[in-house]
Amino acid sequence: MKRSIVPLAVLYVIFSTAQSQVQREIVPGSPLQGLTGHELELFREGLEDFNEVETAEEGLGPAFNGNSCGSCHSIPAIGGVATMTETRAGYVDEDGYFTAMNGETLYNLFSTGKHACQVAIPPEANVIARRVPTPIFGDGLIEAIADATIIAGEDPEDRNGDGIKGRASRIFDVATRTNKIGRFGWKAQQATLLAFSGDAYRNEMGITNDLFLTELMPGIAPAQAKLCDGKPEPEDVRNRLTGLRSIDNFANFMRLLAPVERAPMTAEIQRGETLFTAIGCAACHTPTMMTAPSQNPVFDRKAVALYSDLLLHDIGTGDGIEQADATGDEIRTPPLWGLRFRRPLLHDGRAASYYHAIEMHAREAEASRKRAEALSPGDRTALLAFLGSL
Ligand code: HEC
Ligand code: HEC
């Protein structure tokens, strides 16, 4: 039996070497091309930390949604999505005013403690929302887009009369301690990958850090929370060898992670893309945006084929949750790059197919949805082929 293992291994090496010579394609989960040796090292360290499974002894919880970043960002490779949803809740009064009960809207799925530290949605909640993960591939390029470039796409008063009113998300970025334009997350709630790292480490894993110093435990009394936690904040401390915190490692990995490559172009996909623009989808799903000038050649004035304006819109799918600068009705236009590896679709995962997602577009996207519905069967197939090539 043992003897057959060696030739198999040899065959595998020959086969995979031959493959890598033919295939030039960048597989999902790869680093950006053109990185320096030092950057590749940061990418690898970041990837390792992103995938590390944490325990309660290391700070996980008391309330948490997952025990590693990778657990919810893994399809089709680390940095992608997952099939899970997380839960937010709030209260809206008769006048339409939104309140985050206990000051928070996120209710974690799990708890580590034996001390009754499972968070629960209060009975008075009348808005409950679910959210699927957003993918991270190419996020360093999105981070490198200047605030001014995003603002240039705004049209909150609908001056051009096309029925579309994009609005930039104006937030305070806890990483740079400046006002910035949010662009990450379904509500464009964060502007930088370091801030999102701090937010996710605390919100998803219950690991406090320099940017988010208190545990997220809505409705749990502080004394009870202390009993469950027992670890001093911040739980994320600097590595003595590298000087980096885990949130720095996550941000490095995500910043240097390449976008998903498009499928090879065909005549039908090309036609689908032309239709996508012709029927008004590209008015929000902006095909490309440019990054700002940068000292780093990898990020310097690059065309980013993200298919998003990174603005907040009301297309009638809003989850009712007010968060950062976004109202309950608003959702950020999701970038469509990498769409072919993503299921389910829309912020709450309600759409199983591209066409189903299109059918949910209303209000600001009413006109373009109607034009999509009016396409001939052949044109519709081409539009869907284009979406499936991203
Ligand atoms: C339990 C599942 C889960 C875990 C664990 C998790 N995430 Fe996420 N992630 C999500 C969900 C859901 C969203 C969308 C959240 C939203 O916008 O409300 C998201 C969004 C993001 C985004 C925004 C990407 C974009 O382009 O919009 C980043 C960045 C991110 N996560 C980083 C991380 C990091 C870093 C960790 C580990 C510290 C982590 N996530 C752990 C579920 C998870
Ligand atoms: C007014 C802006 C706007 C227009 C026009 C628009 N979209 Fe969207 N699109 C959005 C927003 C916002 C979402 C996210 C909604 C949600 O998740 O609740 C979205 C979501 C999607 C999704 C799901 C992506 C994901 O990650 O879940 C697809 C696919 C999509 N749009 C395709 C199209 C196509 C095709 C058209 C043209 C027929 C179009 N969109 C027109 C704003 C727009």
Six token digits for residue 347: 């912020």
- Please tell me which residue, 7 or 323, carries the higher pLDDT value: 323
What is the arithmetic mean of pLDDT over 200-215?
A: 97
- The CA distance from 69 to 53, in Å, is 8
Band (pLDDT 50/70/90 cuts) for residue 353 is very high
Instruction: Give the mean model confidence (pLDDT) for residues 193-220.
Output: 96
**337 pLDDT exceeds 70?**
yes
Give the ligand with the smallest distance to the CA of 340: 2
Q: Can you give the pLDDT at residue 224?
A: 87
- Confidence at residue 117, expressed as pLDDT on a 0 to 100 scale: 86
Take atom 36 of ligand 2 and give the residue whose Cα is closest: 281
Model confidence at 372: pLDDT above 90: yes
Q: Tell me which of 46-50, 124-128, 229-233 is least confident.
A: 229-233
Using one digit for the tens of pLDDT, what is the confidence trace for 277-293?
Answer: 999 999 999 999 999 99
Spacing, Cα 81 to ligand 1 middle (Å) = 9
CA distance 177 to 167: 22
> How far apart (Å, rounded) are the C-alpha atoms in residues 160 and 152?
14
Residue 225: pLDDT band with limits 50, 70, 90: confident
pLDDT for res 115 = 67
**Amino acid 22: pLDDT:** 53
> Does residue 13 carry a pLDDT above 80?
no
- Residue 203 C-beta-side C-alpha neighbours within 13 Å: 15
Confidence of residue 10 (pLDDT cuts 50, 70, 90): very low
Is 249 a residue whose pLDDT tops 50? yes
Between the CA of 348 and the centroid of ligand 2 the distance, in Å, is 13
CA of 149 to the centre of ligand 1 (A): 24
Q: Output the ligand 2 site: residues, CB below 6 A.
A: 164, 279-281, 283-285, 313, 315, 317, 331, 333-334, 336, 342, 345-347, 354, 357-358, 361, 364-365, 368-369, 372, 387
Q: What is the pLDDT of residue 24?
A: 63
- CB 31, CB 77: distance < 8 Å: no
User: 264, exposed or middle or buried, with CB in 10 Å at 0-12, 13-18, 19+?
Assistant: exposed
pLDDT band at 3 (very low <50, low <70, confident <90, very high): very low
| Statement: residue 195 has pLDDT above 60 | yes
For residue 188, how far is its CA from the centre of ligand 2 (angstroms)?
A: 15
CA of 134 to the centre of ligand 1 (A): 7
Mean pLDDT (whole number) for 58-84: 96
Tell me what pLDDT residue 12 has.
46
The predicted model gives 68-82 an average pLDDT of 98
Tokens matching residue 50: 């992103």
CA nearest 65: which of 96, 111, 7, 11? 111
* pLDDT-based confidence at residue 248 (cuts at 50, 70, 90): very high
Q: Whole-number mean pLDDT of the chain?
A: 93
- Is the pLDDT confidence value at 45 over 90? yes
Q: Which whole number is the average pLDDT over 146-163?
A: 96
The tokens 């850090």 sit on which residue? 209
Burial, 185: exposed, middle or buried (Cβ in 10 Å; 0-12, 13-18, 19+)? buried
Q: Largest Cα–Cα distance in the chain? A: 76
| Interval 126-149: pLDDT, tens | 999 999 999 999 999 999 999 999
Which ligand number lies closest to the CA of residue 109? Answer: 1
Q: Atom 2, ligand 2: which residue's CA is nearest?
A: 284
d(CA 316, CA 371): 17
Compute, in angstroms, the gap from residue 167 CA to the centroid of ligand 2: 15
Q: For ligand 2, atom 19, which residue shows the shortest CA distance?
A: 333
Nearest CA to ligand 2 atom 41: 281
Nearest Cα to 322, choosing from 156, 129, 160?
Answer: 129
Q: Indicate whether 27 pLDDT > 90.
A: yes
